[in-house]
Structure 1
Amino acid sequence: MDIFTIRKKCNDDTIEITQHFLIRIHQRKIFYKEIKNVIMHGEIIEEYPNDFPYPSCLILGKTTDNRIIHVVVGMNDTKLYLITAYEPDPDKWDNKFKKRKDC
């Protein structure tokens, strides 16, 4: 997966949103436009090529008000699937939120 291909699919015609995703972002007070901003300006920090049903990845980015957000997306040939989004826990991630800490 590469970020440029993901960004090309980051539009309302090709994004698929699940009920689970909507519930989670509502609980976490993350807005849809912030998710799109993270995808368009963030970077892939982990890849999951064997995820089912589609390969996925973890994207790190900032919201328009500078909140650090992780977004997990999956992708097939035609769609971008928004899986989840959250503010990373500083106890579990390094100070740049790019690498998981060893537990």
Structure 2
Amino acid sequence: MFQRNISTDNIKEVIVYGQIIEDYPEDEPCPSALFFAYSEGRPCHVVVAECEDHARVITVYIPENNKWIDYIFRRDQR
């Protein structure tokens, strides 16, 4: 996250104000979801796992425009 110049405050902003764009209920050991929001004018994706007693940030990245439509929908990878 720091290598990508994404701060803890950016991550919190995405989780609190962003939208869930993909849901992964079958993930183990805990279900997870992909959040999207703009933070400091940049698109940001955060994957968060929701366990029984805590939430865990799994990964954080700036989505690549060539892989996403409006950073929300995956482009067809055919």
TM-score by length of 2: 0.94
Whose helix proportion is higher, 1 or 2? 1
What's 1:102 paired with? Answer: 76
What's 2:30 paired with? Answer: 54
Percent of aligned pairs with the same amino acid: 40
Alignment counterpart, residue 66 of structure 2, candidates 91, 96, 103:
91
- What is the aligned-residue RMSD (CA, Å)? 0.7
Instruction: Give structure 2 stretches of 5+ with no counterpart.
Output: none
1:77 correspondence with 2:52: yes
Whose strand proportion is higher, 1 or 2? 2
Q: Equivalents in 2 of 1:68, 1:90: separation in Å?
A: 10
TM-score by length of 1: 0.72
Q: Which runs of 4+ in 1 moved over 6 A?
A: none
Q: Equivalents in 2 of 1:50, 1:74: separation in Å?
A: 11
Partner SS state of residue 91, structure 1: helix
> Which structure ranks higher in relative contact order (CA pairs < 8 Å, sequence separation ≥ 6)?
1
What's 2:42 paired with? Answer: 67
How far the C-alpha of 1:81 sits from its partner, in A, is 0.4
How far the C-alpha of 1:100 sits from its partner, in A, is 0.3
Q: Equivalents in 1 of 2:71, 2:43: separation in Å?
A: 8
Residue correspondences, number: 77
